Amino acid sequence: MTVSISISAVRRNCCLYILMGMEAWKILLLLLCGHVLSIQVFGVPGTCPADVGSKCEDDDWKGEFFPDIPKIKYEGPSSKNPLSFKWYNAEEEILGKKMKDWMRFSVAFWHTFRGTGGDPFGAQTKFWPWEDGTNSLAMAKRRMRANFEFINKLGVDRWCFHDRDIAPDGKTIEETNANLDEVVALAKELQGTKIRPLWGTAQLFLHPRFMHGAATSSEVGVYAYAAAQVKKAMEATHYLGGENYVFWGGREGYQTLLNTDMGRELDHMARFLEAAVAYKKKIGFNGTLLIEPKPQEPTKHQYDWDVATTANFLRKYGIIDEFKINIECNHATLSGHSCHHELETARINGLLGNIDANTGDPQIGWDTDQFLTDIGEATLVMLSVVRNGGLAPGGFNFDAKLRRESTDVEDLFIAHISGMDTLARGLRNVAKLIEDGSLEALVRKRYSSFESEIGAQIEAGKADFEMLEKKAMEWGEPKVPSAKQELAEMIFQAAL
């Protein structure tokens, strides 16, 4: 089974140092520690490695995980305290809803608790004090406790997970499922009544068995394995009260068309999703199924390239009504679109389901998954959300990670606060824009010529070419006014 490195007997004086240098959420610390394990993490400045010498076998890491971090409070824009909200005031009402109900923020377990800081050229840089260097079940549970302390201190109500980042692989599917069950049971307990998953998903990309894809693998055995895994992950999400279930096809694509039967692979993907829909209904899971587009990385081309490509796929196979889309801003820009474009495309196709809130670097051609701090961008994002009437049962999941070189525990809080404040600021700006009304008026005026009889006929599909030709000849050269683009930008910027 699995990715794991199982070390059945690692004895005394053994300094175990495992760096799995994949990008954040894709990374596992895969040591199954059987009996005795003495770990010595060489002092890494900026983190405070815990004395975990004898803790491998149990999960009771007493005491707080974040002893120096208070519950984060709203202190307003003039506060200089990095560990406070300046713009996000959860209970404050904006545009008829509480901020927290617009936002529905979620913490991504993988980035925050499994991110190592590794990159394609570098080993792990993050050594959190509560980590013992193993991928044991005990460690998985301890980590889950840290997750809930983090969530509570941050003041959010939702979290997201991949099956394999919360519980370790076992040697067989059965054993792996048992591991998952154990951790999920703990999470259920820790969730209490208020907290629940925004969404869950199955990790179908890290393990080498998925190297040719999961639903689109050239191997029938992998297809079956993936089905078994999604089945279980959907059950776990359902059990935890998850509101959505996500499909991200990181390996559903190709490296070169020379060795690929793209048509057949897409057919397989459709069959897989149909089976997922059927299973969802069978178990009574009412959450939304979400597809998360990404154009490339890790493969050269991923089949769920962008919103339009995904919508075409769903329509072609007749399953468009069963899915919505989870839009990640950095994925949007990698596909050549602004995030706002992708959000609007999803919205007008009736597919806007959830947002993975992050941002990329405008000069960089891969997924950097940074926390969004651009207030103009955040305002555009919130504009789509408000137009959509909110995102529920979706929300904002922070699919974002600390940069490799940010290695303090407090950086985890600073980054999330910054991301939450930025979106909150965006929402406040949208409220200003709407109250001001100038931008909306500008757009309404632009299309006002369609508020005519002939406009109505066109929009009703009743204007044929002959009638239109007659009109065009009758009217002569049409008047075409300025688009007032710089004015629109001036109005927009004034609201920031």
Structure tokens at 64: 């707080």
Cβ 444 to a copy of itself, closest distance in Å?
Answer: 9
| Residues in 304-323 at the binding interface with a copy of itself, rule: CB under 8 A | 305-306, 308-309, 311-313, 315-316
| Residues in 247-286 at the binding interface with a copy of itself, rule: CB under 8 A | 250-251, 255-264, 266-268, 271, 274-276, 278-279
Binding mask 426-445 for a copy of itself (x = CB under 8 A): ----------x-xx--xx--
Q: Which one, of 459, 475, 418, lies nearest residue 88 by Cα?
A: 418
Catalytic: which of 111, 162, 331, 337?
162
At 149, give phi and psi (nearest 5°).
Answer: -65, -40
Q: Using CB under 8 A, which of 134, 288, 333, 358 touches a copy of itself? A: 333
DSSP class of 370: B
Angle between helices 438-446 and 409-436 (to 10 degrees): 60
Instruction: Decide if residue 178 touches a copy of itself (CB under 8 A).
Output: no
User: 190 vs 414, which CB is nearer to a copy of itself?
Assistant: 414
How far is the C-alpha of 115 from the C-alpha of 22, rounded, in Å? Answer: 9
Structure tokens at 483: 């688009």
Instruction: Decide if residue 239 touches a copy of itself (CB under 8 A).
Output: no
Do strands 93-94 and 97-98 pair parallel, antiparallel, or not at all (unpaired)? antiparallel
Cβ 492 to a copy of itself, closest distance in Å?
Answer: 6
| Residues in 134-153 at the binding interface with a copy of itself, rule: CB under 8 A | none
User: 61 vs 248, which CB is nearer to a copy of itself?
Assistant: 248
In the chain, what is the straight-line distance between the N-terminal and C-terminal CA atoms, in Å?
53
Q: For this structure, is 162 an active site residue?
A: yes
Only one of the segments 6-14, 67-75, 136-144, 389-397 lies at the binding site for a copy of itself (rule: CB under 8 A); that segment is: 6-14
DSSP 187-243: HHHHHTTT-EEEEEE---SSSGGGTT-STT-S-HHHHHHHHHHHHHHHHHHHHTT-S
How far is the C-alpha of 442 from the C-alpha of 295, rounded, in Å? Answer: 34
Only one of the segments 62-70, 98-106, 115-123, 236-244 lies at the binding site for a copy of itself (rule: CB under 8 A); that segment is: 115-123
Contact 268, 223 (CB under 8 A): yes
Report which secondary-structure segment, H or E, holds 185.
helix 173-191
**Total binding residues toward a copy of itself, as defined by CB under 8 A:** 192
411-441 as b/e: b if 16+ CB within 10 A = bbbebbbbbbbbbbbbbbbbbebeeeeebee
| Residues in 67-96 at the binding interface with a copy of itself, rule: CB under 8 A | 77, 80, 82, 86
- Can you give the three-state secondary structure of 310-323, one letter per residue? HHHHHHHCCCHHHE
Q: Using CB under 8 A, which of 192, 224, 286, 321 touches a copy of itself? A: 224
| Residues in 46-65 at the binding interface with a copy of itself, rule: CB under 8 A | 46
Instruction: Decide if residue 4 touches a copy of itself (CB under 8 A).
Output: yes
User: 51 vs 464, which CB is nearer to a copy of itself?
Assistant: 464
Instruction: Decide if residue 15 touches a copy of itself (CB under 8 A).
Output: yes
**How far is residue 26 from each of residues 114, 117, 336, measured CA to CA in Å?**
8, 11, 24
Only one of the segments 96-104, 184-192, 239-247, 365-373 lies at the binding site for a copy of itself (rule: CB under 8 A); that segment is: 365-373
Structure tokens at 307: 């919103």
Cβ 325 to a copy of itself, closest distance in Å?
Answer: 12
User: 60 vs 487, which CB is nearer to a copy of itself?
Assistant: 487
**Could you list the active site residues?**
162
